[in-house]
């Protein structure tokens, strides 16, 4: 099984950025732990701060991978291009947010990508990525 994890803008700063909201673990460190927990799954991790690069990467993995976990960061709330990319690919996408976006500013309550995703996991910290992996594993059995 092949799962891509895609993180959008500012998520390269995890562990340093607003640690009260996003925690103090870097994504690279978390990703190593995740890979150890699921040794039979082939994971790839991609992060970009650039909207078009995220679109390109969705196209790259979206016809061959079994699942995509996408934290589009702030583009969640603004990007028609990312929404259209999710709609245009074959691989199912789970929307992930580390923080509970519904307990935050009003502009974070709208997701342009949610209607094109199989589901959304938010507010559960980095554990949300584990839960997304579990969904794909359970669906594969």
Segment contacting ligand DQA by CB under 6 A, of 29-37, 40-48, 51-59, 91-99: 91-99
Q: Determine if residue 64 is labeled as part of a ligand binding site.
A: no
57: annotated active-site residue? no
- The token pair at 49 is 């701060």
Quick check: helix, strand or coil at residue 117? coil
Residue choice 51, 55, 99, 126 for contact with ligand DQA (CB under 6 A) = 99
Cα(65)–Cα(83) distance, rounded to whole angstroms? 18
Cα(138)–Cα(85) distance, rounded to whole angstroms? 25
Segment contacting ligand DQA by CB under 6 A, of 33-41, 61-69, 70-78, 80-88: 70-78
Draw the binding track, 2-31, toward ligand DQA (x: CB under 6 A; -: no contact): --------x---------------------
Residue choice 13, 41, 74, 137 for contact with ligand DQA (CB under 6 A) = 74
Cα(128)–Cα(124) distance, rounded to whole angstroms? 5
101 in contact with ligand DQA (CB under 6 A): yes
> Looking up tokens 């990703």, which residue turns up?
31
Q: Determine if residue 108 is labeled as part of a ligand binding site.
A: yes
**Residue 137 burial (C-beta neighbours within 10 Å; 0-12, 13-18, 19+):** middle
97: annotated active-site residue? yes
Closest CB 15 distance from ligand DQA, rounded Å: 13
Sign of CA dihedral 113, 124, 57, 117: negative
Residues tagged active-site: 22, 97
């Amino acid at each position: 099984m092949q799962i891509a994890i895609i993180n959008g803008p500012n998520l390269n700063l995890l562990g340093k950025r607003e640690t009260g909201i996003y925690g103090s673990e870097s994504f690279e460190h978390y990703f190593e732990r995740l890979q150890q927990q699921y040794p039979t799954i082939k994971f790839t991790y991609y992060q970009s701060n650039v909207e078009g690069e995220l679109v390109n990467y969705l196209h790259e993995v979206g016809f061959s991978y079994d699942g995509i976990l996408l934290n589009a960061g702030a583009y969640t709330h603004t990007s028609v291009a990312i929404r259209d990319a999710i709609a245009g690919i074959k691989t199912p996408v789970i929307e992930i947010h580390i923080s509970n976006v519904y307990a935050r500013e009003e502009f974070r309550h709208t997701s342009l990508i949610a209607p094109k995703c199989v589901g959304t996991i938010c507010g559960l910290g980095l554990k949300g990525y584990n839960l997304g992996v579990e969904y794909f594993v359970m669906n594969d059995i």
